[in-house]
Amino acid sequence: MKETWNNLKRVYSFGKEYKKNMIVFMVASFFFIFINVIYPIFTARQLTYMTSGVFESLLWATLVVFLFDILGAIRMVIIRKNTQIFFRGSFQKLQMKVSQEILKITVSNIDKHSSGVFIERLNHDCSELSHVFTKGVGQLTGILTNIGVLVAVLIINPIVFLFYLLASLIITYLYLREVEVLSKKEQNLRKANEKNIGLTGELVRGVRDIKMLNARDSFMKEIDKSITEVSNQTFDSRNTEIHYTAVIECVRALAMFLLVILLVYLVQIGMINLATAVVLFSYRTNIMSNLMQKIGDLLSEVKMFNVSANRVFSLLDTTEFSKETFGKKHLAKVHGDFEFQDVCFSYDGKNQILNHLSFQVPANHTVAFVGKSGAGKSTIFSLLCKLYPVTQGKILLDGIDINELDENSIRNNITIISQNPYIFNMSIRDNLRLVKSDLTDKEMRRACKLACLDDFIETLPEKYDTVVGESGVTLSGGQKQRLAIARAFVQKTEIILFDEATSALDNETQSKIEEAISNLQKDYTILMIAHRLSTIVNCDTIYFIEDGQVLAKGTHQTLLKNCPAYKKLYETELKAQK
């Protein structure tokens, strides 16, 4: 109860702005309770006047019923309009908050979960939470109406009241059992759903690779397993529902049968007249079906609401997913020198990826990292952007530990261009605007020219307004990399990290990009992980990384002399080019 109350308060805080609408639909709902209670009295009267031929009274009763029906229609419009406004507003706010919080979750936590975990919470669970007041008020109104009807029955005849009460209690008990069993099954169903959504997302995003790898059959096996799991869980829940519904329907039919016998008996012994018997009889559907169903629905709603609330709030708080933490110091503009001091790092707490790594990069220098694949080069970049926290040691930016800096000081001053950059399903212009909302046309064209992308854009039907598809699917690998490079040029941060960013470019484009990068070299601190060593021969310093440590450092010429591993790598590349 306390848990539900706290969750309700928290959900309400998202719809506070629409308090007026909530009050209107609550008042409209509760005001009509009394009309619902007296409505059956008039319909019963209609019936008795009709059978006894008292047509004048029949006309009056029919007029009242007609008025109630019109009022009912007005009520429906008022309630639906206001609930819609309340729902839409609170849902929007909740989804915005959840989206914001997802972006704060640590990358290592995101890596561990399927995307379905977040998508399901963002959509289904947020909708469930925002509906709670509108659904809850509807169900509560129904329950109160039926309680009102029960009170009316008690006043009219206590024996029939006792009968209704007993039948109601039996049916309520059965509903409660059903809700209990179903809510446990629902939790498992949601988990299976999350997994399935994640997998179907991969099916769509990975469709090309699935085709090219000819992995259709094995992927379909995984999909089959996941869909079967969801469908088994759903089937199991529906089966339970069917069994309980069948039992409840039988109990209800028996109660109706006994009710008629009871009413006939009471008329025969003269305790009630026929008209009263008809009124009492016409309350039956209200009491025996609606009341129980509504109590059951409300309880089930509360259970589902708490399940969704726990899933959403555990994401908003830090109970299930840890969030990124930043310091308070702010650097509006950095010089661009940084240092790794004895840094150790492991992704999983077992395999050490960086081992006591130390190096220093002065501002406006161009530095390259080379080494075998898996040596830990990209990890250095991820740590510098604080995508993962270091396990031991320190990373200093302008002499300040990055743990003491706020998010903007790090992310507004460092750009990373990865080998497989994420391009959003937006126009080229909007992809660039993401990093600078007030981007001018001139800046946009200049960045694309520097990234050697302008000629290609001119060939597109809608030029800069061409939408590039999910993850930039309509672009080639090289075009995606050039768009990412243009994005970095727009962002103009002091530190630019190129993580094999030119690997997918042909020689001509690559040399153009290298020229653009060399133009930046005097003003920016540039770090590169190079696919081809020929691209880094002019760097100020080259670090040869092996097993997460610096094996050797120096210029290209010094490394050729002093580092056999570097020399071998270079010679292998030269041979491959011949």
Cβ proximity of 11 and 86 under 8 Å: no
x/- binding map, residues 57-96, to ligand ADP, per CB under 6 A? ----------------------------------------
Which residue, 56 or 348, has its beta carbon nearer to ligand ADP? Answer: 348
- Tokens 């060399």, located at residue: 518
- Report the nearest approach of ligand ADP to the CB of residue 302 (Å): 40
Q: Rounded to whole angstroms, how far apart are CA atoms 571 and 575?
A: 6
- Report the nearest approach of ligand ADP to the CB of residue 542 (Å): 14
DSSP string, 166-224: HHHHHHHHHHHHHHHHHHHHHHHHHHHHHHHHHHHHHHHHTHHHHHHTT-HHHHHHHHH
Which residue, 357 or 468, has its beta carbon nearer to ligand ADP? Answer: 357
Interface with ligand ADP includes 111 (CB under 6 A)?
A: yes
Kindly state the helix (H) or strand (E) to which residue 348 belongs, with its residue range.
Answer: none
CA of 52: how far to CAs of 66, 275, 281, 379, in Å? 21, 10, 18, 90
Q: Which stretch binds ligand ADP (CB under 6 A): 127-135, 176-184, 304-312, 371-379?
A: 371-379
Q: Which stretch binds ligand ADP (CB under 6 A): 4-12, 154-162, 230-238, 375-383?
A: 375-383
Which amino acid is it at 422?
Y
- Report the nearest approach of ligand ADP to the CB of residue 351 (Å): 7
According to CB under 6 A, which one of 29, 139, 168, 378 is a site residue for ligand ADP?
378
Which residue, 373 or 577, has its beta carbon nearer to ligand ADP? Answer: 373
Q: Which stretch binds ligand ADP (CB under 6 A): 24-32, 241-249, 294-302, 376-384?
A: 376-384
Which residue, 135 or 377, has its beta carbon nearer to ligand ADP? Answer: 377
Residues 324-343 that bind ligand ADP (CB under 6 A): none
Q: Which stretch binds ligand ADP (CB under 6 A): 373-381, 389-397, 472-480, 488-496?
A: 373-381
Q: Rounded to whole angstroms, how far apart are CA atoms 533 and 576?
A: 12
Q: Which residues of 458-492 are buried (b: 16+ CB within 10 A; e: fewer)?
A: eeeeeebebbbeeebeebeebbbbbbbbbbbbbbe
Q: Rounded to whole angstroms, how far apart are CA atoms 12 and 32?
A: 24
Q: Rounded to whole angstroms, how far apart are CA atoms 518 and 495?
A: 14
Q: Which stretch binds ligand ADP (CB under 6 A): 94-102, 148-156, 368-376, 485-493?
A: 368-376
How deeply is 120 buried, as exposed, middle or buried, from its count of CB atoms within 10 A (0-12, 13-18, 19+)?
A: buried
Interface with ligand ADP includes 350 (CB under 6 A)?
A: no
- Report the nearest approach of ligand ADP to the CB of residue 529 (Å): 6
Interface with ligand ADP includes 357 (CB under 6 A)?
A: no
Size of the site for ligand ADP (CB under 6 A): 11
- Report the nearest approach of ligand ADP to the CB of residue 352 (Å): 10
- Report the nearest approach of ligand ADP to the CB of residue 357 (Å): 11
Cβ proximity of 486 and 448 under 8 Å: yes
Which amino acid is it at 12?
Y
According to CB under 6 A, which one of 374, 567, 572, 574 is a site residue for ligand ADP?
374
According to CB under 6 A, which one of 347, 424, 537, 540 is a site residue for ligand ADP?
347
Cα atoms in the 13 Å half-sphere on the side-chain side of 397: 29
According to CB under 6 A, which one of 375, 384, 453, 559 is a site residue for ligand ADP?
375
Cα atoms in the 13 Å half-sphere on the side-chain side of 201: 15
Interface with ligand ADP includes 377 (CB under 6 A)?
A: yes
- Report the nearest approach of ligand ADP to the CB of residue 108 (Å): 7
According to CB under 6 A, which one of 312, 353, 417, 517 is a site residue for ligand ADP?
353
Which amino acid is it at 16?
K
- Report the nearest approach of ligand ADP to the CB of residue 100 (Å): 23
According to CB under 6 A, which one of 196, 286, 379, 535 is a site residue for ligand ADP?
379
Cα atoms in the 13 Å half-sphere on the side-chain side of 183: 18
The full length of the chain comes to 578
Interface with ligand ADP includes 376 (CB under 6 A)?
A: yes
Which residue, 252 or 377, has its beta carbon nearer to ligand ADP? Answer: 377
Cβ proximity of 453 and 486 under 8 Å: yes
Dihedral (CA of 264, 269, 271, 274) sign = positive
CA of 197: how far to CAs of 128, 207, 309, 311, 472, in Å? 18, 15, 20, 16, 22
Which residue, 379 or 431, has its beta carbon nearer to ligand ADP? Answer: 379
Token pair for residue 352? 């050490």
Token pair for residue 201? 């997302």
- Report the nearest approach of ligand ADP to the CB of residue 363 (Å): 24
Interface with ligand ADP includes 472 (CB under 6 A)?
A: no
> Which residue in 5, 7, 19 sits closest to 86, CA to CA?
19
Which residue, 24 or 383, has its beta carbon nearer to ligand ADP? Answer: 383
- Report the nearest approach of ligand ADP to the CB of residue 246 (Å): 51
Token pair for residue 189? 């169903």
- Report the nearest approach of ligand ADP to the CB of residue 544 (Å): 11
- Report the nearest approach of ligand ADP to the CB of residue 221 (Å): 26
Q: Which residues of 10-26 are buried (b: 16+ CB within 10 A; e: fewer)?
A: ebeebbeebeebbebbb
Interface with ligand ADP includes 56 (CB under 6 A)?
A: no
Contact residues toward ligand ADP (CB under 6 A) are 111, 347, 353, 371, 373-379
